Amino acid sequence: MIVSDACKTGMATRMRSPAVFKRPVVLLPLILLLWIAATAKAAPPWNVGYRTIAVQDALTGESFPVALWYPTPAAPAPVFVTGSLSLCRFPAILCRGITYEMPVAQNAPVAAGAFGVIVISHGAGGMALLHRDLAIALASHGYVVAAPTHPRGKDNDISGVGVWVGRPKQVSRVIDTVLEDEKLGSHIARERIGVVGHSNGGYTALAVAGAQPSTSADAAHCRDHPDDAKFCGYGGAAAREATREVGLLPELRDPRVRSIVLMAPNAAPFTDDALAKVTVPVLVYAAEKDDLTRVRYHAERLARALPQAECVLVKGAGHFSFIASFPTALKMVAGEGARDPGGFDRDALHEVMNREIVGFFNRTQRPARDTLTKGAQPPSCRSRESTAGS
């Protein structure tokens, strides 16, 4: 079970004394109507459609796959998809354990209306389906969600030009493609565009939101913090050499992006001055037991440096706790990506976190929104407790 910390800033709970009614029979229909209304409001307003597209990398010309989820009036059914976004052709009883199951309407028509767009950028070595539960939650509440499997480049999804420049440009190209799509384009509210990023996807989201990355900032971090050995050694000598070859970086900001969500983000490639130029609202999730993008060097620093930031520290969580759970047979293949510290309840976290992310985008993607301001949240991450195994 996930519960919010009692000291959450700006939150207060008001309780009313129970009323005593002398005529319960008269009030029963009213109570029943109120219950029905509350239940209807709680239910997601749309079913979720699903299909895939291919997008061309602006940097290399390479084609990469993108998964799309969107609101639809069509009824959902279990769909079993592999990591490469192909369909499982075995009986459902076999597919369920070896592929990713989603309750969606495949290739269904788009619902009537105008919807926001959210691009989800996975971490190094990841793929489009790693945040499928969040994508479905967003689509069921009125968003078109696009999740690319970022190209690996020269078998390196950790550093180098293909990551530093390629990833942000790929996100912008995905936005272009969705807006131009013959089925989706006319249903898009073009002033409502956001990005979600995990780990290196967090780097990607920050770059498109206006933080100018710098290889010297990344090198300075590792020089000044020799205790951050796992982060600085990730990818080995090949990754460090690829970073040295990057050179000067072009402008990567996409002015269409209105707000972003970061999960266990990589913030090392940015100076504080660069982060201060991010003018959009940001929601940051940090994992207390993250030993790769450690809280004090990444999330806590973002909470201090970003002008408009909310930060949540999830107690007991690890770096990969923000990824959706893996099917049984794939947990061994996924390795540490499928494991959580000390039996942490990943599914319970996602149930709460996905709801919060939907609410964050609903607040920050409105044309006339009440923006967060520096000082509205403390310059640190508020904590959320987790009861493991509950």
pLDDT in tens, 224-282: 999 988 988 876 667 777 677 777 788 899 999 999 999 999 999 999 999 999 999 99
- CA atoms within 13 Å, Cβ hemisphere of 50: 28
What per-residue confidence (pLDDT) applies to 177?
98
What per-residue confidence (pLDDT) applies to 343?
83
- 65 has which bridge partners? 54
Q: What is the mean pLDDT of the chain?
A: 85
What pTM, to 2 d.p., does this model score?
0.85
Strand arrangement, sheet containing 282-287: 2-4, 382-386, 309-314, 282-287, 259-263, 188-198, 115-121, 143-148, 63-72, 47-56, 100-106, 77-81
What per-residue confidence (pLDDT) applies to 121?
98
**93-147 tens-digit pLDDT:** 999 989 999 999 999 999 999 999 999 999 999 999 999 999 999 999 999 999 9
How sure is the predictor about 288, in pLDDT bands with cuts at 50, 70 and 90?
Answer: very high
What per-residue confidence (pLDDT) applies to 218?
87
- Tell me if 344 sits within 8 A of 388, measured CB to CB: yes
Q: Which residue has the tokens 């794939």?
A: 330
Please tell me the distance from the alpha carbon of residue 208 to that of residue 190, in angstroms, as a whole number.
16
- Tell me if 150 sits within 8 A of 55, measured CB to CB: no
- Tell me if 228 sits within 8 A of 296, measured CB to CB: no
The answer on pLDDT for 21 being more than 50 is: no
> Phi-psi category of 48—alpha, beta or left, where left has phi over 0 and alpha has psi -120 to 50?
beta
The answer on pLDDT for 10 being more than 50 is: no
The answer on pLDDT for 178 being more than 90 is: yes
What per-residue confidence (pLDDT) applies to 241?
73
Please tell me the distance from the alpha carbon of residue 254 to that of residue 168, in angstroms, as a whole number.
9
Give the pLDDT mean for 204-217. Answer: 94
Please tell me the distance from the alpha carbon of residue 115 to that of residue 184, in angstroms, as a whole number.
9
Helix ranges, 157-271 (H): 161-164, 166-180, 200-208, 215-224, 229-233, 236-244
How sure is the predictor about 86, in pLDDT bands with cuts at 50, 70 and 90?
Answer: very high
The answer on pLDDT for 20 being more than 80 is: no
- CA triple 94-83-290, angle to 5 deg: 110
How sure is the predictor about 162, in pLDDT bands with cuts at 50, 70 and 90?
Answer: confident
Both tokens assigned to 317: 């969580």
